[in-house]
Amino acid sequence: MSEKALREHNVLSESERKNESTNKGSLMNNCTENGTENLQGCQKKSHASLVPSIADGDHPTNGGGEVGTLEIEYIESEDLTDVKDVDAALKSISAGLESKDWLLVCDTLNNVRRLALYHKEVMLDMAGDLITLLVKSLKNPRSAVCKTAIMTSTDIINAYNDQLINFLDPLLVQLLLKASQDKKFVCEAAEKALVAMTTWVSPTLLLPKLQPYLKNRNPRIRAKASVCFCRSVPHLGMEGIKAYGIDKLIQTAASQLSDQLPESREAARTLLLELQTMYKKSQDLAPSSVSDFSEMSSWEDFCQSQLSPLNALSVLRATGSACESAVLGS
C-alpha cells in the first residue's frame, strides 16, 4: 500500500471510530432517558396507588389540566378501623361532605362509616342532617363518591335500624334508583344496602314506606320495591301478618303479578307462596287462635273473597292452586 493510501486509510478509520463512539453515546443517552422516563412512570404509578381515587371511567384532572389515573379503594365494613380522634372526625363531617374535593368527600364518608361502626351514639343526634348530606353524595355524578355513599348507607342502616325511620324516605328513594341503574358495581352496592334495610328495619315500619314505590312510573323502581316488599314481609311472622292484614298483602302481591318486569312478577309470586304457607299454617292452629286471621276454609276461597275474579285466578295460578273453573264461574 502506498504512503498516501495508508494515510487516507488511517484518517477514515479514525473518523469511523469517532462516529461509532458518537452513536454509542447517543444510544446510551437514549437508554438513560428512557430509563428515567420508566422510573418516573413507576414513581407516578406508585404514588397513585397510595392516593384514594376513582375507577370505572371517572378521571380526575390535576391542576394543570392533565388527566389523572387514580383508582379508589373501596373498604369493606369488616376492614374499617376506628378513627383516631372521634371529636375531630365528628366535627369534620359537615364540611367534608359538602366539599368540592371528591377525594375529601370519600374520606369523610369512610369516617362516617367508622363512627357508625365504633361510636354510633355520637352521631344519633345529627341523624337527620347526616342523611341529608349522605343523599347529596348519593346524587353525586362521580361514581366513586356514589358507591362510597351507598356503602356508608349500608353501615348506617346496620347501626341505627328503626332509629332512622323518620329520615328514611330520601335515602330509600335514592337506593331504589341506584339499584335500578345500569352501572353494575353501583347497582350491586345499592342492592346490598336494600338487603340491609329489609333485614334491620322493622317490617311494620318499612312496608308503608315501600308501598308507594310499588306504583312508581319507573318499572325498574317498581321491581326493586317489589323485591324489598317481598323480602320484608316474612319478618312480620304470623302474628305480624295478621296485624298488618293478610288481605292487604295478597292484594298488593296480586297487583304486581301483571307488572312489566319479570323481577317484579317473580317477587310477587314468591310473596304469595309465603302468604299461602302462612295461611295454611294458621288453619292447623286452634280455632281460637285464628278467628281473627282467617275466616274461610281454604286458600282458594279466601283469595276469591278478597280479589276480583281475574286477580284471584292469577294468584291461584301463581300458588299452584287448582280451582280455575270455580273462579271463572263466579
What tens digit of pLDDT does each residue of 248-294 get? Answer: 999 999 999 999 999 999 999 999 999 999 998 887 765 544 445 54
- Cα–Cα separations (whole angstroms), residue 161 to 137, 153, 154, 197, 243: 21, 11, 10, 8, 21
Cα separation, 177 vs 114, in Å, equals 25
52 SS3 class: coil
* Model pLDDT, residue 328: 47
Q: Tell how far CA 318 is from the center of its chain.
A: 30
Phi, psi (degrees; rounded to nearest 5) at 322:
-110, 85
Which tens digits make up the pLDDT trace of 46-90?
A: 333 334 333 343 444 444 333 344 678 899 999 999 999 999 999
pLDDT digits (tens, 9 = 90+) for 205-237: 999 999 999 999 999 999 999 999 999 999 999
Burial (CB count <10 Å: 0-12, 13-18, 19+), residue 37:
exposed
Cβ within 8 Å of residue 184, ≥6 positions away: none
The structure's pTM equals: 0.76
Higher pLDDT, 115 or 71: 115
Q: How confident is the model at residue 14 (pLDDT cuts 50, 70, 90)?
A: low
Residue-wise over 298-323: b if at least 16 C-beta within 10 A, else e?
Answer: ebbebbbebbeeebbbbbbebbebeb
- Rounded mean pLDDT, 172-183: 95
DSSP string for residues in 182-214: S-HHHHHHHHHHHHHHHHHS-HHHHHHHHGGGG
Q: What DSSP designation does 289 have?
A: H
